[in-house]
Amino acid sequence: MSTILNNTEDLAHIRGELQHKPWLVACLCAAWCNTCGDYRAAFDALRAQHADKCFAWLDIEDQAHLVDEIDVENFPTILIQHGDHILFFGTMLPDVKQLHRLISSLSENTEQSISHGKLLNQGTPKDWSLRRLLLENL
């Protein structure tokens, strides 16, 4: 497995990045999902275009303790979070160009994205934060 792949699923590496990066872009997936497997390389490669963000590839079965409060119904499910604000949570087509456009749009309009983030985040409990859970589970 390449270093890039290890970094996006290695929780210690993710925690280290979250110490100095306010953005978290997480793909919630399952090892048995062929669509996720096909999407993986493109998701990891997108990191190069968004070096200021922490990218995480989380298997919802292997990392169930991080996602047990939310319902992941389809794959891939993407979560984009800035600080404690979840700006996007939902299923996306496995199209890295679409994800790139969404990340860029949210980044360019951070304040507006935060104030309107609830419109794109219908599936998480009010006080749930993947970023916080990742940092607390040292």
Confidence of residue 130 (pLDDT cuts 50, 70, 90): very high
pLDDT in tens, 102-127: 999 999 887 776 666 555 666 678 78
Structure tokens at 67: 């996602």
Torsion of CA 66, 17, 123, 84, to 10 degrees: 110
Domains of the chain plus CATH, in order, are: 3-136 (3.40.30.10)
Cβ-Cβ contacts under 8 Å for 65 (sequence gap 6 or more): 133, 137
